[in-house]
Amino acid sequence: MAQRFDAIVIGTGQSGPPLAVRLGASGRKTAVIERAAFGGTCVNVGCTPTKAYVACARAAHVARHAADFGVRIGNATQGGAENGAQGDDVSVDLAFVKARKDRIIGASRDGVERWLRNAPNVTVLQGHARFTGAHTVSVALASGETVLLEAPEIFVNTGTRAAVPELPGLDRIRYETNSTMLALETLPAHLAIVGGSYVALEFAQVFRRFGSRVTVLVRGQRILAREDDDVAQAVQDVLAREGVEFRFGNAPRSVAPLGASGTGGMTGDVVGTSAEAGLVHPDGIRIELEHETLDVSHLLFATGRIPNTDDLGLDAAGIERDKHGLISVDGELRTRVPGVWAIGDVNGRGAFTHTSYDDYQIVAANLFDGVSRSADARIPAYAVFVDPPLARVGLSEREVRASGRPALIATMPMSRVGRARERGETDGFMKTLVDAQTRRILGATIFGIEGDEAIHTFIDTMTADAPYTTLQYAMHIHPTVSELVPTLLDGLRPLA
């Protein structure tokens, strides 16, 4: 006999928990099911732990450059430690960094679980959920027992996991994903990272600042494939100046353990061991690239994400997936099966915490608030949390050019921003594009200090559907990064 609920939420990522609580508050008897850690990717192995590491890496970076500010630490000298010379007196204790991160994410994870368990009308089940029909779900509980639930409304928030490419030799080595990387307690001597997107670049800078040698392996000819060339180049320049090495057009073809394969061994620090995979190879890993051989201590794959839909019984429910495994939804995030929604990364409408949370808000607006909202109206926005951050909203310059519409463009180096000069961090630039006819902002990029905050001046103006002059004539506070946004707009000129 199935247990009857009014609503079932599968997964506790960024949209499932607030939705479950809201469903319960509306009087619906709601079941929420989680098979692993409460809070999902963002809390446990995504945004929160990586940004905790970014903070530690920045502390190390600032300490190395302290002498530039007249602050003396040990024998640090002016100019900091660039181009691989990371010695000085600054070293990073990765076990401490991890313990700090574990405290931060532990508090968030416990908070999500407590919130759900204390929510009125919400029942929490820990186990793996699988559809057995359009409105029935079986849950294999951690206890070994299986229970059957049914509900007229079901919300899928099962997220994604790291994708690892098929590579000869992979079964013979220990490799890292974002999850295992965050469990290391010994600093890699030489970390190779496969991938050129934000996850790869954030880990690259963090571990370089921690003191590892880092080599980023990119299949194509540049990092950040979806960004404009000037933006990608500026980010690459900053990372390269800090000593991150790049190999372009040079993807791995095979991997092998060093030592065990009789190929010699790396000198240097001992690598971590894999309790998970049961593989230990203290001599490191040999990576055969297209054009060279690289010996490293650690190998991290940051090569995209796979939706958690392959073990969800979607066929039994008649729920459609696209060729990537993403669940097809309309603007209100409804699947084709009446009464079933897909929210968060699993619907392919976004791949960020804020898009997942916005999915919750869209569903809640339509279900509870009598407000019609659609994901179709969403303006894409995100940040890459390298330091300085890269923040983006709307269309890139390349996309605007491809659209063929008459447009205006303005750019400004961060060296013109007083706040950046005062902080001694003038890397990067701002760029914006405006529709020449409608005067609406089409997109903006800020690569520079506090760009992740200042970009919201653009996001809010675009969301309000106001002309760019609304932002141009706003009085902003001195001395901030946002202060220069109106000045940037003063410099708009036709896009040639």
Ligand X SMILES: Cc1cc2nc3c(=O)[nH]c(=O)nc-3n(C[C@H](O)[C@H](O)[C@H](O)COP(=O)(O)OP(=O)(O)OC[C@H]3O[C@@H](n4cnc5c(N)ncnc54)[C@H](O)[C@@H]3O)c2cc1C
Q: Omega into 380 within 30° of 0, i.e. cis? A: no
Q: Under rule CB under 6 A, which residues in 365-424 are in contact with ligand X?
A: 385
80 versus 195: smaller Cβ distance to ligand X: 195
CA distances, 175 to each of 171, 204, 285 (Å): 9, 15, 9
Q: Under rule CB under 6 A, which residues in 13-32 are in contact with ligand X?
A: 13-15
Give the range of 12-20, 89-97, 100-108, 413-421 binding ligand X by CB under 6 A: 12-20
d(CA 109, CA 341): 24
Q: Please calculate the CA angle 296-302-308 and round it to the nearest 5 degrees.
A: 135
Closest separation between CB of residue 485 and ligand X, Å?
A: 22
The reply on whether position 8 binds ligand X by CB under 6 A is no
40 versus 252: smaller Cβ distance to ligand X: 40
The reply on whether position 178 binds ligand X by CB under 6 A is yes
The reply on whether position 156 binds ligand X by CB under 6 A is no
DSSP state of 439: -
Closest separation between CB of residue 344 and ligand X, Å?
A: 2
The reply on whether position 356 binds ligand X by CB under 6 A is yes
Burial of 57 (0-12, 13-18, 19+ CB in 10 A): buried
Q: Under rule CB under 6 A, which residues in 302-321 are in contact with ligand X?
A: 308, 312
14 versus 335: smaller Cβ distance to ligand X: 14
d(CA 281, CA 272): 9
360 versus 429: smaller Cβ distance to ligand X: 360
Helices (H), 260-373: 314-317, 353-368
d(CA 17, CA 6): 16
The residue nearest ligand X at its CB is: 159
Closest separation between CB of residue 16 and ligand X, Å?
A: 7
Q: Which of 5, 7, 9, 11 binds ligand X (CB under 6 A)?
A: 11
What SS3 class is residue 431? strand
242 versus 345: smaller Cβ distance to ligand X: 345
Closest separation between CB of residue 318 and ligand X, Å?
A: 17
d(CA 269, CA 210): 14
Q: Under rule CB under 6 A, which residues in 215-274 are in contact with ligand X?
A: none
The reply on whether position 346 binds ligand X by CB under 6 A is yes
The reply on whether position 297 binds ligand X by CB under 6 A is no
The reply on whether position 205 binds ligand X by CB under 6 A is no
Q: Please calculate the CA angle 269-270-274 and round it to the nearest 5 degrees.
A: 145
Q: Which of 160, 297, 303, 457 binds ligand X (CB under 6 A)?
A: 160
DSSP state of 352: S
Q: Which of 17, 18, 80, 159 binds ligand X (CB under 6 A)?
A: 159
Query: In the stretch 122-151, what mask flags binding to ligand X with x, by CB under 6 A?
Result: ------xx----------------------
Q: Which residues are 31's β-sheet partners?
A: 8, 123
Q: Which of 7, 12, 195, 388 binds ligand X (CB under 6 A)?
A: 12
Q: Which of 53, 352, 458, 468 binds ligand X (CB under 6 A)?
A: 352
Task: Number of residues interacting with ligand X: please give it, by CB under 6 A.
Answer: 37
CA distances, 230 to each of 195, 419, 430, 433 (Å): 19, 23, 11, 15
E strand segments, 224-313: 245-248, 252-257, 285-289, 293-296, 298-301, 305-307
CA distances, 435 to each of 81, 232, 357, 432, 464 (Å): 44, 24, 29, 10, 15
DSSP state of 334: B
Q: Under rule CB under 6 A, which residues in 28-57 are in contact with ligand X?
A: 33-37, 40-42, 46-47, 50-51
Give the range of 11-19, 403-411, 438-446, 452-460 binding ligand X by CB under 6 A: 11-19
Residue 257 contacts by C-beta under 8 Å, 6 or more apart in sequence?
172, 173, 279, 281, 283, 284, 285, 286
Torsion sign across C-alpha atoms 79, 81, 85, 90: positive
5 versus 352: smaller Cβ distance to ligand X: 352
Residues that bind ligand X (CB under 6 A): 10-15, 33-37, 40-42, 46-47, 50-51, 128-129, 157-160, 178, 199, 308, 312, 344-346, 351-354, 356, 385
